[in-house]
Amino acid sequence: MTVHGQGSRDVALAGEMDRADGGPRWSAGWSAPVQRPSSGFEENWSEAGFDRQSVRQVVRVTGSGTRVRIRLSNRFGTTPLTVSAATVALAGEGPALLPGTVRELTFAGASSVVLPAGAEIVGDAVDLAVERLASVTVTLYFAHPTGPSTFHAQAYTDSYRASGDRTADVDGTSFQERTHSWYYLSDVELAGGEEAPHGTVVALGDSITDGFGSTVGANRRYPDALAERLAAEGSPWAVVNAGIGGNLVLNDSLWYGERAVARFERDVLDRPGVRSVIVFAGLNDIGFSEVDLPTYKPAPDVSVADLTAGYRDMIKSAQERGIKVVGATILPFKGAEYHTPHAEAKRVALNEWIRSSGEYDAVADFATALADAEDPERLDAAYDSGDHKHPNDAGYRVMAEAVDLGTL
62 and 79 inside one domain: yes
Cβ 159 vs Cβ 180: under 8 Å: yes
Cβ 169 vs Cβ 99: under 8 Å: no
* Residue after which a domain boundary falls, among 165, 190, 215: 190
176 and 206 inside one domain: no
pLDDT at 197: 59
Confidence band (pLDDT; 50, 70, 90) for 170?
very high
Cβ burial, residue 25 (10 Å; 0-12/13-18/19+): middle
* Residue after which a domain boundary falls, among 190, 217, 247: 190
How far apart CA 261 and CA 343 sit, in angstroms, is 21
7 and 71 inside one domain: yes
* Residue after which a domain boundary falls, among 142, 171, 190: 190
Residue closest to 319 by CA, chosen among 262, 269, 248, 270: 269
- pLDDT at residue 20 is higher than 70: no
Phi, psi values for residue 23, rounded to 5°: -75, 170
How far apart CA 377 and CA 310 sit, in angstroms, is 24
CATH number of 265's domain: 3.40.50.1110
Q: Which amino acid is at 130?
A: V
Q: What is the pLDDT of residues 132-156, one digit of tens each?
A: 999 999 999 999 999 999 999 999 9
Q: What is the DSSP string of 39-103?
A: --SS--STTT--SSEEEEEEEE-SS-EEEEEEEEE-TT-SS-EEE-EEEEEEB-STT-B-TT--E
Number of neighbours of residue 198 by Cβ within 10 angstroms = 12
Q: What is the pLDDT of residues 284-315, one digit of tens each?
A: 999 999 998 888 888 899 999 999 999 999 99
How many domains does the chain contain in total? Answer: 2
Average pLDDT, the chain: 93
402 and 344 inside one domain: yes
37 and 146 inside one domain: yes
164 and 208 inside one domain: no
Q: What is the pTM of this model?
A: 0.93
Higher pLDDT, 198 or 309: 309
173 and 144 inside one domain: yes
- pLDDT at residue 227 is higher than 50: yes
Residue closest to 66 by CA, chosen among 186, 170, 194: 194
Confidence band (pLDDT; 50, 70, 90) for 7?
very low
Residue 163 structural domain: 2-190
288 and 393 inside one domain: yes
Per-residue pLDDT, averaged over 30-38, amounts to: 96
163 and 274 inside one domain: no
Cβ 258 vs Cβ 252: under 8 Å: yes
DSSP state of 294: G
Q: What is the pLDDT of residues 37-94, one digit of tens each?
A: 998 678 899 999 999 999 999 999 999 999 999 999 999 999 999 999 999 999 999 9
Confidence band (pLDDT; 50, 70, 90) for 5?
low
pLDDT at 56: 98
pLDDT at 194: 67
6 and 88 inside one domain: yes
Cβ 229 vs Cβ 400: under 8 Å: yes
Cα-based distances in Å from 390 to 111, 270, 387: 42, 28, 6
Least confident of 34-38, 98-102, 113-117, 233-237: 233-237
242 and 185 inside one domain: no
Number of neighbours of residue 50 by Cβ within 10 angstroms = 22
148, 153, 158, 163 alpha-carbon torsion, rounded to 10°: 0
175 and 102 inside one domain: yes
